Amino acid sequence: MEAKILGDALPVVTCKLKKGESVVTESGGMSWMEEGIKMTTSTNGGIMKGLGRALAGESLFMNIYTAEKDDVEIAFSSSFPGKILEFELNQGETIIAQKRAFLCAENTVDIAMHFRKKLGAGFFGGEGFIMQKITGPGKVYLEIDGEVVKKYLEPGQKLKVDNGYVAAMTAGVKLNIETVPGLKNIMFGGEGLFLTTVEGPGTVYLQSMPVSKLASMLYLGPKN
């Protein structure tokens, strides 16, 4: 599969398929496609697998698009201003992503639920109890809210992040929460009671405009 990411603020990924190649996306995720591509809708792994994906923010059913001839194009657009990231995963290689980050992937890629084991991190960490676990082999495309900043963390190195700004991370990264120190900081600092902490080794992908933050701003109005 040959793929290109086009555009800036509202990007789209176009995939050119050879006969027999397939790409998978959530229900309703396709933007346009040429003739010669067959669509099949299924739970893509059984009803329990589909329910797990639904809990992780994706649809219960997935659409699989298979080329019936060479060099046919299909496209998938982002649903929010931001970036599309490409990952080419090896066999068994995993990336953990926020809910609803998955855009499309080769049909060899596995999309499943990733359950956050720590109670506090799930309640207060902004990313929620359930994230997406995406495992290779194959290419996968994620949509990120706003701009993306990539940071590699050495073993034991920590980064404190405001809730909602962690878009994705490699499987070796630990994610937890910590309380903001000081009553004055909590009451007047504007960062809330908790911060997300990520710890290496591994790579963290941070997003500059989480949908949750934008929705809150629109609801409450701009700052004075």
Write out pLDDT tens, residues 126-166.
Answer: 445 578 899 999 999 999 999 999 999 999 999 999 878 99
Spatial separation of the C-alpha atoms in residues 165 and 99, rounded to whole Å: 12
Instruction: Provide the pLDDT for residue 178.
Output: 77
Written as six digits, the tokens of 216 are 């809150």
pTM: 0.81
Instruction: Provide the pLDDT for residue 60.
Output: 61
Spatial separation of the C-alpha atoms in residues 159 and 210, rounded to whole Å: 18
CA 210 to chain centroid, in Å, comes to 12
Amino acid 15 reads C
Domain that holds residue 179: 2-220
Q: Where do the H-state alpha helices sit in the chain?
A: 47-55, 119-124, 183-188, 211-220
Instruction: Collect the ranges in the chain with pLDDT lower than 50.
Output: 48, 50, 56, 119-127, 182-191, 224
Instruction: Provide the pLDDT for residue 120.
Output: 47
Instruction: Provide the pLDDT for residue 195.
Output: 79
Q: What phi and psi values does residue 68 have, to the nearest 5 degrees?
A: -100, 0
Spatial separation of the C-alpha atoms in residues 114 and 23, rounded to whole Å: 22
Q: CA dihedral in degrees (211, 215, 216, 217; nearest 10)? A: 100
HSE toward the beta carbon, residue 150, CA cutoff 13 A? 7
3-state secondary structure 4-33: EEECCCCCEEEEEECCCCEEEEECCCCCEE
Q: How far are the Cα atoms of 112, 139, 223 from residue 95, in angstroms, in the given order? A: 11, 12, 35
Please give the tally of structural domains in the chain: 1
Give the CATH number for residue 115. 3.60.160.10
Are the beta carbons of 186 and 180 closer than 8 angstroms?
yes
Instruction: Provide the pLDDT for residue 131.
Output: 84
- Burial of 53-91, coded b for 16+ CB within 10 Å and e otherwise, reads bbbbbbbbebbebbbeeeebbbbbbbeebbbbbebebee
